[in-house]
Amino acid sequence: MENGPWSTVLPVADPLSGLMYAEAHSGSNINHVNGSIGEIRGHAIAVEEGHISIQSPGKVTAPGVDYVTYDPESRDIVLWDSKYRSEGGSYPAHVSDAQIKRWTNDLENTISSLPDSDLKREVMSAFREGRIKGEISRWPRWLGVFMFNLKGRAPLSSALGSRVEPDDFVSSQLYRIADELYLFLSESGLIKKSIGTDEPVVVGVLWAPSVSSALRVVEDNIEGDDFAIGEIPQGFFPFGRPVDYKGFRDGMSCRGSGLIEAASYRMSDGAFVYRYIQGGGYKVYFRGSAHDSTEAPFAVLKRIQ
């Protein structure tokens, strides 16, 4: 199988052929097989979500980047670090700048080996302009660890299954677990007492396209908002991946619970912060003060009871 934008179909739909492909790239070590499956599935998901493959997954134990894609929407080259974790394991929050720099050293050769095409020229332009970012691909995906296996509110260290990293606190209420994803924390003495802990308690998972967007939710920081927009991760919302107010409202209404629609204002000066819709365990935040059925949200919170 050759690398490049034409090698985007990997044998992951059929479990047997997917396992055979994984074993061919990993040997019989079960952890290596799981790691290889994670790379294959992560690559396939990226392609399904609109990325173009630049370098497909190779031997799981080989050093360097695990696979490379090009996002034609953002016009970024994405260097992927695929991580396999068993149940209860934790993942790094992001790819380090040092890793990105190391992997970038080999990237020009990878792009140069692509067949001559408009795509090659576009990707090379992104390389020369420094439009390169790193992403973590999680297998099993973070969703299973943080939203489905977390049956109720829990101390932060228990939810992570590992040591709490001080650098991953964005604020006292937010702990970053991945790009655009945060554990929503409570310091309430009553909540801590109810589960017998002195740690911050995880009461939700927040998606926001930037740190400043997330801080608008928890700190009413309007002035620092960069007005980033994005798309919720696959699987985050139980009714597809809506992109606007109408889509979220329709999906939340399907859950059969009542919806609350309201707005929040800053206590210090009365400034408008956001409006939101809430129901079915979700709270969706919008920047506009006036109703707009086509407005995209800037954050979505999944509550944990």
To 5 degrees, how large is the angle CA 43–CA 47–CA 49? 120
At 20 the pLDDT is 40
**Residue-wise pLDDT tens digits, 181-225:** 899 999 888 888 888 989 899 899 899 999 999 999 999 999 999
Q: Where residue 141 falls among pLDDT bands split at 50, 70, 90? A: very low
Structure tokens at 6: 């034409």
Name residues whose C-beta falls within 8 Å of residue 179's C-beta, 6 or more positions apart in sequence. 93, 94, 135, 136
Task: Estimate to the nearest angstrom the gap between the alpha carbon of 224 and the chain centroid.
Answer: 22
C-alpha distance across the termini of the chain, in Å: 47
Residue 303 has pLDDT above 50, yes or no: yes
Structure tokens at 117: 């095409």
Residue 283 has pLDDT above 50, yes or no: yes
Q: Where residue 44 falls among pLDDT bands split at 50, 70, 90? A: confident
Residue 273 has pLDDT above 50, yes or no: yes
Q: What integer is the mean pLDDT of 290-298?
A: 94
Beta strand ranges found along the chain (DSSP E): 52-55, 67-71, 76-84, 132-139, 154-155, 169-171, 174-178, 181-186, 201-207, 260-265, 272-279, 282-286, 299-303
Give dist(CA 71, CA 50) in Å, integer.
7
At 13 the pLDDT is 36
At 227 the pLDDT is 96
Q: What integer is the mean pLDDT of 153-177?
A: 85
Q: What integer is the mean pLDDT of 83-90?
A: 54
Beta strand ranges found along 129-248 (DSSP E): 132-139, 154-155, 169-171, 174-178, 181-186, 201-207
Structure tokens at 93: 């929050």
Domain limits of the chain? 15-140, 152-303
Across 116-125, 154-163, 255-264, the highest mean pLDDT is recorded for 116-125
